[in-house]
Amino acid sequence: MKMNAYVAGVGMTGFGRMMDRGLKSLGAEAIKAALFDAGVDKREVQAAWMSNAAAGVLTGQECIRGEVVLRSVGMGGLPVVNVENACASASTAFNQACAMVSAGLYDIVLACGVEKMYFEDRAKVFGAFMGAVDVEQLQSILDGLQKSAAASGASEASKGAGKNRSMFMDIYAAAARSHMQRFGTTAEQFAMVSAKNSFHGSLNPRAQFREALTVEQVLASPMIAEPLTRPMCSPIGDGAAAVVIVSERKMRQLGLENPVRVVSSVLKSGWDHGAGEAGLSEVCAQEAYEEAGLGPRELSLVELHDASAPAEIMAYEAIGLCPKGEGGRLVEEGATRLGGRIPASTSGGLLRKGHPIGATGLAQVVEITEQLRGHAGARQVDGARVGLCHNGGGNIGADAAAQCVSILVRG
């Protein structure tokens, strides 16, 4: 739906390995920061959308995750909607919160995403990702990934999926090999995405990884699933992000300077479509552009779902930054680097900022908001006016299970 909501405040923890912290501690930090940034009291919040994807499997906290986190900061007595939608959980929470404000039902709401993924039992963590596909088809999916790897001579990708890594890296690896075969995309171009995002992440004090890597270092890193080396794969992580969303009336009452408006947000699930037909990301992006009355040429920057380096290249094409098959060339030309025509993943992206899956979509909103306000420090995009967030989750068939594309503008 066409949106008319404003981001009044944002807050975010650093992302990383935090063995001594849980959902309440992480969520509280992000929520308090967002409320402070908005200049509102927690008692003014009328409703909350709380996202988390894996706590039920990893911590045993089911059913009332959002209520538990909110009660720890003294926020009770308000409607709480718990949102779970794989890696698109946080963007789904944002979409629904903005929709309710745009519909006139609330003047001030909270969207918060929080995830705790670091545990000693890594197999349990990787196993949590297994539930983000059709589990009744799980064995056939794994068999299909192994056959794809074997057919292309990918020895590492032919073993270990879901045991010593997330099976989604194998799904991305298979898509990458297909893109290479169809369009001539190279492993060097995938490495350019990782190197670029490592540079962006080196400028972000909240990023999980701050070391800037060269293309050569990315290519020389351990192979995970051909053609993906370790820096081409997003890490697991702990963290939280929160956003306070208000109506236009409340925005004026608060006297917000440099207001950031949500002009469109499109949330869809995948479907069975033909190989030559537009996919989920393409359809969501096109609808978001139409609702916003904008096109890809008017974007100042984008935050993309770069859960793997090839995924960012494919996202370039899906959201219209370049024609199909030319994503590799776009990154090679430097267009998506800070200072380029359309900077992508300026936060460091999922690859370097980190990917606590239930918080990721809102962390993208935090980055875009700070950029549009001119508060992004060393990674600031000059004159940023329009930003796009692209966040997907799960996999069914040949596409994501869920996708959300949102567009925010300054003023």
Asked whether the beta carbons of 185 and 312 are under 8 A apart, the reply is: no
CA atoms of 41 and 217, how far apart (whole Å): 47
Mean pLDDT of 272-276: 82
Is 275 a member of any domain? Answer: yes
Q: Is 200 a catalytic residue?
A: no
What contacts 180, CB < 8 A, 6 or more positions away?
A: 186, 187, 227
Query: Looking at the domain assignment, is residue 212 inside a domain?
Result: no
> Is residue 193 in a domain?
no
What CATH number did the domain enclosing 79 receive? 3.40.47.10
Give the model confidence (pLDDT) of 229-239 as tens digits: 999 999 999 99
Q: Is residue 83 part of a domain?
A: yes
Taking the model in full, what pTM does it have?
A: 0.97
Q: Is the pLDDT of residue 182 over 70?
A: yes
35-74 pLDDT per residue, tens:
999 999 999 999 999 999 999 999 999 999 999 999 999 9
**How confident is the model over 237-253, as a mean pLDDT?**
98
Assess whether pLDDT exceeds 70 at residue 12: yes
Is 151 within the bounds of a domain?
Answer: no
Q: Is residue 131 part of a domain?
A: no
Residue 43: partners with Cβ closer than 8 Å, 6 or more residues away:
none
Per-residue pLDDT at 273: 85
Q: Is 389 a catalytic residue?
A: no
The proportion of the chain whose per-residue pLDDT surpasses 90, expressed as a percent, equals 87
pLDDT of residue 41: 98
Q: How many angstroms separate the CA atoms of 349 and 355, rounded?
A: 8
Task: Examine residue 126 and state whether it is found in any structural domain, yes or no.
Answer: no
Q: Does 253 map to a domain?
A: yes
Structural domain boundaries enclosing 241 = 2-119+236-410
Residue 157 has pLDDT above 80, yes or no: no
Average of per-residue pLDDT values in the chain: 95
For 62, 85, 255, the CA distances from 131, given in Å and listed in that order, are 15, 11, 44
Mean local confidence (pLDDT), 354-364? 98
* Confidence bin at 161 (pLDDT 50/70/90): low
Look at residue 304 in the predicted model and tell me its pLDDT.
98
**Active-site option among 179, 200, 305, 355:** 355
Least confidently predicted of 112-126, 210-224, 358-372: 112-126
Q: Structural domain tally of the chain? A: 1
